[in-house]
């Protein structure tokens, strides 16, 4: 696996503060712990060093995009649709459209009216005859300027190697007064800072209201609204106390992976999990704008 060191995608600063290190605790392709860093200039949080774009495919096994039309995802689509229900849009683009299930859902709600475009570099095809599919990264798609009334992207921008290029294209192809609505993870949450819930190294960039506003301003957009909402994915900080207490008694990622915890460590981790269940039993973080999930609305 090849790793690359990068400067801040938002401001270009090369200095950073390391927040923590985490391995790929889903696939465990290796025990390498990726540094998650915070830019000392603008505060953007990202993985550095990280796998190169070419090597990143191994972290997305075959079937990663499957079952996006099952009942669980359709419930999420209904929630997501509530954010665009009142928008008068005829031309919609979905970034990271996978198999096109979200666009098909919107088409159903709109009774087939409208023009639907989807772009995805890793999906082989979309299921929907009325979707114009672009199998590439967004910057490589041949899309007309000032064309779309609405652009959506759900849980995609945290996976990108160059978010700035995507924001640039969004600004270019969005109509005046058009809206860009997207979901990302929140770097300033317990979820993102202490509970190690970010899906490293698939989540390469972790955003906040501040850094999203800076991205918008840099690319001719305006951050119009930000919603902190755990209904789509659980953005609570469960794990904050388990990992925090575990570190005090020497629990490491390696010992968790190998399941080599001594009696004291097992007791402390269990106590931490019980505290997590109690403290994060409700969604108080969302009310305090600290949920791990953000839905942002940008306008041109």
More confident residue, 113 or 192: 192
**pLDDT confidence band for 113 (50 / 70 / 90):** confident
**pLDDT at residue 98 in the model:** 87
| Average pLDDT of the segment spanning 136-142 | 94
**pLDDT at residue 203 in the model:** 97
Give the range among 82-86, 151-155, 238-242, 252-256 with minimum mean pLDDT: 82-86
Whether residue 86 has pLDDT greater than 90: no
Scored b (16 or more CB within 10 A) or e, 275-287 reads: bbeebbeebebbe
pLDDT digits (tens, 9 = 90+) for 198-221: 999 999 999 999 999 999 999 999
pLDDT digits (tens, 9 = 90+) for 222-236: 999 999 998 888 999
Q: How far apart are CA 8 and CA 13, in angstroms?
A: 5
| Average pLDDT of the segment spanning 55-67 | 80
What does the domain layout of the chain look like in residue ranges? 71-193+205-234+284-299, 240-279
More confident residue, 123 or 79: 79
More confident residue, 198 or 130: 198
Closest CA to 276 of 241, 300, 244: 241
Q: Which pairs with CB-CB distance under 8 Å and at least 24 residues apart come from 38-43?
A: 38/187, 39/8, 39/10, 39/11, 39/13, 39/15, 40/13, 40/15, 40/16, 41/8, 41/11, 41/13, 41/15, 42/8, 42/10, 42/11, 42/13, 42/211, 42/214, 43/208, 43/210, 43/211
Give the range among 33-42, 55-64, 140-149, 186-195 with minimum mean pLDDT: 55-64
Average pLDDT, the chain: 94
* Domain range 71-193+205-234+284-299, CATH architecture: 3-Layer(aba) Sandwich (3.40)
């Amino acid at each position: 696996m090849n790793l690359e060191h990068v400067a801040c995608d938002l401001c270009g600063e090369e200095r950073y503060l390391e927040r923590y290190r985490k391995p790929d605790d889903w696939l465990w392709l290796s025990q390498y712990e990726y540094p998650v860093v915070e830019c000392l200039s603008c505060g953007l949080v990202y993985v550095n060093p990280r796998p190169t774009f070419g090597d990143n495919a191994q972290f997305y096994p075959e079937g990663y995009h499957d079952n996006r039309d099952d009942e669980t995802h359709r419930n999420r689509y209904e929630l997501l649709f509530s954010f665009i229900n009142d928008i008068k849009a005829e031309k919609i683009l979905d970034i990271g459209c996978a198999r096109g299930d979200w666009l098909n859902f919107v088409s159903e709600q709109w009774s087939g009216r409208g023009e639907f475009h989807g772009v995805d570099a890793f999906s082989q095809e979309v299921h929907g005859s009325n979707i114009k599919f672009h199998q590439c990264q967004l910057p490589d798609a041949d899309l007309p300027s000032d064309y779309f009334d609405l652009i959506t992207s759900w849980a995609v921008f945290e996976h990108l190697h160059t978010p700035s290029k995507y924001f640039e294209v969004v600004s270019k192809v969005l109509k005046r007064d058009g809206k860009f609505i997207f979901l990302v993870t929140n770097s300033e949450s317990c979820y993102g800072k202490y509970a190690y819930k970010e899906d490293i190294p698939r989540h390469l960039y972790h955003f906040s209201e501040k850094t999203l506003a800076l991205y918008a301003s840099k690319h001719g957009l305006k951050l119009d609204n930000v919603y902190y909402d755990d209904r789509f994915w659980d953005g609570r900080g469960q794990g904050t106390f388990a990992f925090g207490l575990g570190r005090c008694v020497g629990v490491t990622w390696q010992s968790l992976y190998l399941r080599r915890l001594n009696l004291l460590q097992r007791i402390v981790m269990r106590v931490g999990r019980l505290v997590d269940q109690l403290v994060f039993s409700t969604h108080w973080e969302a009310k305090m704008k600290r949920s791990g999930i953000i839905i942002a609305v940008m306008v041109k």
